[in-house]
Amino acid sequence: MTRDRILTAAAVGILLAFLWFADRTFSAYSIRILNTIAIFSIVAVTYNLINGVTGQFSLGPNAFIAIGSYTSALLTLSPQEKAASFIIDPIVWPLSVISVSFPVSLIAAGVLAGLIAFLISVPVFRVRGDYLAIVTLGFGEVMQVITNNAVSITNGPLGLKGLYPHTTLWWSWGLCIFTIICTVRLVNSSYGRAMKAVREDETAAEAMGIDAFWTKTLAFTFSAFFAGVAGGLLAHLITTISPSLFTFFLTFNLLIIIVVGGLGSTTGALIGAVLFAWGGEALRVVEEPFTLFGYDLPGIPGMRMVIFSAILILTMIFARSGIMGRREFSWQAAIDLGSTLLQRIRRT
Amino acid sequence: MDTAFVIQQLIFGITLGCLYSLIAIGYTMVYGVIRLINFAHGDLLMVAAYIGFFGIVIYHLPWPVAFGISILLTAALGILIDRGAYKPLRDSPRISALITAIGVSFLLENLGIVIIGGRPKSFPRPSLFEGDLQFDQLILPYLSLWVLGITVMLLTLVLLIVHRTRVGMAMRALSRDFETVRLMGVDVDRVISFTFVLGSSLAAVGGIFWCMKYPAVEPFMGVIPGLKAFVAAVLGGIGSVSGAALGGLLLGLAEVLIVAIQPEWSGYRDAVAFTILIAILLTRPTGIMGEELPK
């Protein structure tokens, strides 16, 4: 146990040193990718909690990210900026005068997203399986319609512009580490075991005295809270948000992340998020003009999503457990793996 | 608000409702047989519209030929999707097949962007469906009559197939108990393929008429009609063909009438369907015509 703690602390230390190094030397583009990885990791790890660990197939994280983004953005913009950007309809009263600091706005984003998740869990968890998927998908669509139409709150399709880029590597990765610690501790607690029991067999879990409804609500609210925080980070990373950012497409990306990483594995969700954010950038080459064996090929816009969709389908058909399955990273396993590899190298 | 206005809105509502019904029937049949929400169903509508568009505009085919080819190819694509993506997952958890279906849906949409491009194309409307009848202030487009007529005809046809033929009997049996039907010597895969053919052809017909009503063909055009048709299928009682038709009709009427009564709510039109969905799942999950689901 002590050894694992030391190793974890060392790993976090190395990560922080790397971030410090990256912060000073990397290009703005690379830093942006690192930030994106952290934000995707926050959402993926907590989305996996509801979809993978608790086994409730939600398709609504885009709604909670949207709630978080808008809450945080509306709270950090100054009253003058808000008055200037709301040109169709003036902004409603309390929002028009409030302006708070970035950390407070992030907490508010998480709390509001979590609160809404808590409130809708009563109707949502009346249904199961694919009906649950459709209801949460429907919630996402309703949220989309609201952000487009509640012009005096969200500024409609124009969105919010000119946010201060508060999201630095320290904010995004700091919160990412915090999220991972919270999620891992939750999964390993008795609540986490209850969530797994509900996933395996809801009736049996209830017979053992687990309140399935509260367990699901806990996972759902927890997941929405961090999706909201991640939304706030995202808004202050890209500095311009509009409803079109938070369509079902966003959920689809998260779904690829957790399925490819392995549904039910926090480690898998992390690996998936890193692969997705990095791979998404690396695959940009297929959408730009490129030269292959002396031929000039035009770029194909949209090709990346074709590749991602194909990866999702192929993963489901041929490798349904993804990269990690339901296994988690542990130092013991890593050491064992390392020593077997060493032995093999020595033998040859 | 006078009577003419109300009747006019009813006509629009029924036309929209019929289109939802055509798409919803395919959804409900596939769900009834293999218990899968076929997310790609809405995108079949887009594929059918594109094939029709290319047939008429690029290859200058007469429209009945172009529409016929469109329906045939869409039906073939339906079988291909089932055999390629869903069949390998027949015995796995239902959520796996659902994730695959979402993947297929995005694959079709993005293939549309890659192959054809994202710019909307304007769908040609054959002269037979142009024009309208005028009574006083009332406008009755010929297209509405065609849509209503064809929907009623196809609904009757599907009901006859499901209730009067052997393959229809097999489909109804499959929706009750998969394993037993297989043990009785029914070629389950052929029945499922037949279901996809029927459902995809209806989606193709729905897609072609959808484009004649809203003549913009683009890769994401099938998403919203597809989702709403699913809501219609749930509203009517999933698995029930006449329920899907009724659900589609009610949903179309509800959307048009709400906007007609409260024009300032027009932006929220797309939220109506999902509000209905949540309400129906909370109060009567089996829908209007649905049977009690076995536990």
Q: Report whether B71 contacts B205 (CB < 8 A).
A: yes
Q: Running DSSP on this structure, what letter comes out for residue A160?
A: B
pLDDT for B7 beyond 50: yes
- Other Cβ atoms closer than 10 A to A285: 12
3-state secondary structure of A329: coil
A321 to chain B nearest CA, in Å?
Answer: 10
The pLDDT assigned to A97 comes to 80
A145 contacts B267? CB cut-off 8 A: yes
- CA-CA-CA-CA torsion for B281, B282, B288, B291, nearest 10 degrees? 80
> In Å, how far is A89's CA from the nearest CA of chain B?
14
Res A296: pLDDT? 66
Instruction: Determine the residue type at A140.
Output: G
Which amino acid does the sequence have at A126? R
Helix, strand or coil for residue B197?
Answer: helix
pLDDT for A291: 66
Q: Do B89 and A259 touch (CB under 8 A)?
A: no
- 3-state SS, residue A292: strand
Residue for token pair 């048009």: B256
Residue B291: pLDDT above 70?
A: no
CA–CA distance, A320 with B98 (Å, rounded to integer): 13
H or E element at residue A297: strand A295-297
- Give yes or no for a contact between B241 and B158, defined as CB atoms under 8 angstroms apart: yes
Q: Which residues of B touch A137 (CB under 8 A)?
A: 227
Among A133, A149, A317, beta carbon nearest to B98: A133
Burial of B276 (0-12, 13-18, 19+ CB in 10 A): buried
Please answer yes or no on whether B111 and A313 come within 8 Å at the CB atom: no
Does residue B192 have a pLDDT over 90? yes
Residue B249 has pLDDT above 80, yes or no: yes
- The domain spans of chain A are 10-247
Round to whole Å and give the CA distance between B82 and A94.
53
Token digits of residue B153:
């005809």
Of residues A259, A306, A308, nearest to B111 (C-beta)? A306
| pLDDT at A204 (0 to 100) | 94
Identify the top-confidence range among A217-221, B27-31, B118-122, B228-232: A217-221
What lies within 8 Å, CB to CB, of B135 at 6+ separation is: none
Testing the interface with A: which of B281, B283, B293, B295 to mutate, by most A Cβ within 10 A? B281
The answer to whether B116 and B212 are in contact (CB under 8 A) is: no
Rounded to whole angstroms, how far apart are CA atoms A150 and A67?
A: 13
- Mean pLDDT, rounded, for B218-229: 90
Q: What integer pLDDT is reported at residue B191 of this predicted model?
A: 93
Give me the count of residues in chain B.
295
What is the tens place of the pLDDT at every residue in B142-164? 899 999 999 999 999 999 999 99
What is the Cα gyration radius of chain A?
A: 21
Closest chain A residue by Cα to residue B108: A306
Residue type, B261: I
Percent of chain B with pLDDT over 90: 51
**CB under 8 Å to A190, separation ≥6 — which residues?**
none
For chain B, the maximum distance between any two Cα atoms, rounded to a whole number of angstroms, is 62
Q: Which chain B positions have a beta carbon within 8 Å of A313's beta carbon?
A: 85, 100, 103-104, 107
Mutate to test the interface with A, among B43, B92, B107 (most CBs of A within 10 A): B107
DSSP A32-52: HHHHHHHHHHHHHHHHHIIII
Asked whether residue B49 carries a pLDDT value surpassing 80, the answer given is yes
Mind listing the pLDDT tens digit for each residue in A183-213?
A: 999 999 999 999 999 999 999 999 999 999 9
Are B106 and A316 within 8 A, CB to CB?
no
Q: Distance between CA atoms of B20 and B243, rounded to whole angstroms?
A: 12
What is residue B295's predicted lDDT score, i.e. its pLDDT?
Answer: 38
Q: Which residues pair with B133 in a beta bridge?
A: B140
Give pLDDT, residue B294. 43
pLDDT(B276) > 70: yes
The pLDDT mean for chain B works out to 89
Q: Which of B107, B109, B282 sits opposite A313 (nearest CB)?
A: B107
CB neighbourhood size of B166 (10 A):
9
Contact A62, A291 (CB under 8 A): no
On the question of pLDDT at B127 being above 90, the answer is: no
Residues of B at the A interface (Cβ-Cβ below 8 Å)?
Answer: 35-37, 85, 88-89, 92, 94-100, 102-104, 106-107, 109-111, 113-114, 118, 223, 227, 230-231, 234, 267-268, 270-271, 273-275, 277-278, 281-282, 285
Distance from CA of A95 to the nearest CA of B (A): 23
CA atoms of A58 and A124, how far apart (whole Å): 9
Distance of alpha carbon A171 from alpha carbon A217, whole angstroms: 28
Q: Would you tell me how many other CB atoms lie within 10 Å of the CB of residue A247?
A: 16
* Cβ distance of B92 and A129 shorter than 8 Å: no
Count residue pairs from A and B with Cβ separation < 8 A: 110
pLDDT of B50 > 90? The answer is yes
Confidence grade of residue B289 (pLDDT, cut at 50, 70, 90)? confident
Q: Which residues of A touch B274 (CB under 8 A)?
A: 138-139, 141-142
Residue A150 dihedral angles phi and psi, to the nearest 5°: -80, 70
ipTM: 0.88
What pLDDT, on a 0 to 100 scale, did the predictor assign at position B94? 83
Q: Burial level of A287, CB count in 10 A (0-12/13-18/19+)?
A: middle
Per cent of chain B over pLDDT 70 is 98
Nearest Cβ partner of A302 from B100, B114, B268?
Answer: B114
Which residue is listed with tokens 């054809």?
Answer: B116
**Cβ distance of A134 and B230 shorter than 8 Å:** yes
* Mutation site, A300, A313, A318, interface B, largest B CB count within 10 A: A313
Give the closest-approach CA distance of B38 to chain A in angstroms: 11
Mean pLDDT of all residues in B270-287? 81
- Residue numbers in chain A where pLDDT is lower than 70: 290-299
